[in-house]
Amino acid sequence: MASGTAICGTPAATDTAHTVKWVNNSEFTIVTGGNYHCTVWQFDLANKKLRPITVNFGQMKRVVTNVLISADDRTAYCGTSTGDICTVNMERSIYKSTIPKKPFALGVTCSAMMPNSDILLGTGDGTVAKIADDGRVLGQCKILGGVTSITLTKDGTHFFCGTTLSNIYWVDTDTLTAELRNTCHHERINAIAFPADYSAVFATCSITDIRVWNAQSRQELLRIQVPNMECHCLDFTTDGRSIVSGWSDGKVRAFLPQSGKLQYVINDAHKNGVTALGISADNGRVVTGGMEGEVRVWRIARQTQTMDASLKEHRQRIWCIKINKDDTQAISASSDGSCIIWDLGTKTRSLCLFESTMFKSIVYHPDESQLLTTGSDRKVGYWDTFDGQAIRVLEGSDEGELSTISISKSGSHYVTGGEERLLKLWDYDEGVCKYIGVGHSGAISSAAISPDQTFIVSTGSEGAILIWTVPPEVSDKCLEAVE
């Protein structure tokens, strides 16, 4: 452990091994389990060898997913994908019996040994069960998602339980009553949105659901679910009275942000899915972009939603739409290598930016004299909004495309993220990366600086939401620039 060098190694079996477990009273014995095998290993330190004894299961074939060892090291309990537990005599390495009589659905995925030798099981269908060592089922409860892990407290009175749907439960071992302690998205997250000038809450969207979070307590406040659909984009209206979202079935759906109740639906807004949207400052118009490259302007009244214009110049998916402060222009970024600034008064193109890249994200500088773009060429581009000329191009990433960019309210700093899995905080004027945030295990799909400029929220393709503190010298500089 001190040097990290390997002492010895050997193939665990002819087929895949899934689990390894130390016995309780010896440093020289381990048990492994996997596809159609369970093996007891004796470690010979003098000769640096691992000597295997394969457990004889006879005609029975099982995939062992986890192993528990009794306190006296005499019995091993092997949880299997069939949904039962095979007990093994450790002294003679032979199979004894199978418990319980009726197997659990979708296999035993994890297990834990209680101080009184009762066994806790988690199964693939979300059942948590407690069984005695003779196979009697002492109790069970159902939770959301397949159980992935069970961790007991020191005194064995409670345990934490994690599931495939990214839920963590706190469970009493006596009564097996489960209380949801923590939750998050379990699929990739596509977008983040803050309400205008309000940093206490933010919303994220993923496959099948939108969730609203408290930024301080990190607790989920609201969950809006639309089964079998993917939400590509969302935003709050300026007055904070609705969350407008774009979905893979081509519909725009608006929800109330406190109750999650559906306000209105725009059917067939785009063929093959609504992939980007922007909301005007007066909340009277929504500009949407689709998978096929159309940009459409919708007029939103209290009772009706009508299409004002359909603008078709992009040839591929729209990734991002932003509207300027006075609602006169909207800009769309597309995979076809162009960003178009549209005049919302005349419903025509007023300017076009071209680059040999798939544009993924775009933001206006707060004074709206410049634009920032990111895309598949790994570069951050500064553009003049007056004539569409490129002012400056920075290397934004060493590997993989940049998929998101967010600028502070003051315009002094911005953040970028992408397939590199690093969140980078840049100084706008210097064009220098000041800080790098390491934490995501998947590509960063979206990032946003909070309206009060004290923290940054980033989301990833692995379903994680990370909250970062903005360094004090940066947030001070941001606040000075605002004042």
With helix as H, strand as E and coil as C, how does 149-169 read?
Answer: EEEECCCCCEEEEEECCCEEE
Reduced to 3 states, what is the DSSP secondary structure of residue 482?
helix
Nearest CA to 413 among 394, 433, 395? 433
Nearest by Cα to 353 from 381, 328, 326: 381
- Interior angle at CA 28, CA 27 and CA 31, nearest 5: 100
Q: How far apart are the first and last CA of the chain?
A: 54
Instruction: State CA 399 to chain mean position distance.
Output: 21
Residue 146's pLDDT band (boundaries 50, 70, 90)?
Answer: very high
- Tell me the C-alpha to C-alpha distance, in Å, between residue 425 and each of 310, 475, 478: 36, 12, 13
Computed over every residue of the chain, the mean pLDDT equals 94
β-pair type (455-460, 465-469): antiparallel
**285/409 same-domain check:** yes
Q: In this predicted model, what pLDDT tens digit does every residue of 262-283 receive, in sequence order?
A: 999 999 999 999 999 999 999 9
Do 210 and 174 have their domain in common? Answer: no
Q: Judge if 139 and 196 occupy the same domain.
A: no
**Nearest-angstrom CA–CA distance, 226 and 274:** 15
Q: Pairing state of beta strands 262-266 and 252-255?
A: antiparallel
Tell me which H or E stretch contains 80. strand 75-80
Q: How far apart are alpha carbons 380 and 341 in whole angstroms?
A: 18
Q: Cα–Cα distance between 385 and 328 in angstroms, integer? A: 13
Produce one character per residue of 130-146: b if its CB has 16 or more CB atoms within 10 Å, e if not. bbebeeeeeeebebebb
Q: pLDDT by residue (tens digit) across 87-113?
A: 999 999 999 999 999 999 999 999 999
In this structure, are 24 and 167 located in the same domain? yes
Indicate whether 156 and 206 sit together in one domain.
Answer: no
Give the C-alpha separation, 462 to 186, whole Å.
8
pLDDT at 477: 76
pLDDT in tens, 174-192: 999 999 999 999 999 999 9
Q: What is the mean pLDDT of the segment spanning 43-69?
A: 92
- 10 in a structural domain: no
Asked whether residue 220 falls in the same domain as residue 332, the answer is yes
Same structural domain, 326 and 277: yes
CB-based contact 171:141 (threshold 8 Å): yes
In this predicted structure, the answer to whether residue 319 has a pLDDT above a threshold of 70 is yes
- Using alpha carbons, list the distances in angstroms from residue 455 to 79, 81, 346: 44, 44, 39
In the predicted model, what is the mean pLDDT of residues 299-303? 91
Q: What is the DSSP letter of 368?
A: S
Final residue in a domain of this structure, among 147, 182, 217: 182
What DSSP state is assigned to residue 103? P
- Burial profile 167-201: b = 16 or more Cβ within 10 angstroms, e = fewer: bbbebebeebebeeeebbbbebbbbbbbbeeebeb
Residue 175: domain span: 17-182
Does 367 lie in the same domain as 237?
Answer: yes
Residue 134: band (very low, low, confident or very high) from pLDDT cuts 50, 70, 90: confident
Q: Taking the CA of residue 239 as centre, how many other CA atoms within 13 Å lie in the half-sphere pointing to its CB?
A: 6
Looking at residue 404, what is its pLDDT? 96
Supply the DSSP symbol for 63.
B
In a domain, 413, yes or no: yes
Q: For residues 361 and 322, give the distance between their C-alpha atoms in angstroms, rounded to a whole number.
A: 10
The DSSP call for residue 186 is S
Residue 5 lies in a domain: no
Q: Is residue 417 part of a domain?
A: yes
Whether cis (ω within 30° of 0) applies to the bond prior to 100 is: yes
The number of beta carbons lying within 10 Å of the beta carbon of residue 318 is 30
Domain co-membership, 355 together with 409: yes
Q: Which among 182, 215, 246 is the end of a domain?
A: 182
Residues 6+ apart with CB under 8 A from 351: 340, 341, 385, 387, 388
* 352/468 same-domain check: yes
| Cα maximum dimension of the chain | 86
Answer yes or no: do 195 and 122 share one domain: no
Q: What is the pTM of this model?
A: 0.88
In a domain, residue 1? The reply is no
In a domain, 91, yes or no: yes
> Quick one: tokens of 298?
């919708």
Indicate the SS3 state at residue 427.
strand
Q: In 3-state terms, the chain is what percent helix, strand and coil (to 5)? A: 0, 55, 45
Spatial CB neighbours of 412, under 8 Å, sequence gap ≥ 6: 427, 428, 429, 474, 477, 478, 481
In Å, how far are 205, 207, 210, 464 from 187, measured between CA atoms?
Answer: 10, 6, 12, 9
Cβ neighbors of 449 (< 8 A, separation 6 or more) are 406, 407, 408, 409, 413, 414, 415, 455, 456, 470
Instruction: Name the pLDDT band for 478 (thresholds 50, 70, 90).
Output: confident
Is 454 domain-assigned? yes
386 domain residue, yes or no: yes
CA 232 to chain centre: 14
pLDDT band at 483 (very low <50, low <70, confident <90, very high): low
How many domains are contained in the chain? 2
Among 133, 163, 182, the domain boundary falls at 182
Q: How far apart are CA 447 and CA 201, in angstroms?
A: 15
Percent pLDDT > 70 in the chain is: 99
| C-alpha–C-alpha distance, residues 177 and 196, integer Å | 40
Distances (CA, A) of 129 to 150, 171, 468: 11, 11, 38
> Are 336 and 226 in a shared domain?
yes
Q: Can you tell me the mean pLDDT for 299-317?
A: 93
CATH code, 104: 2.130.10.10
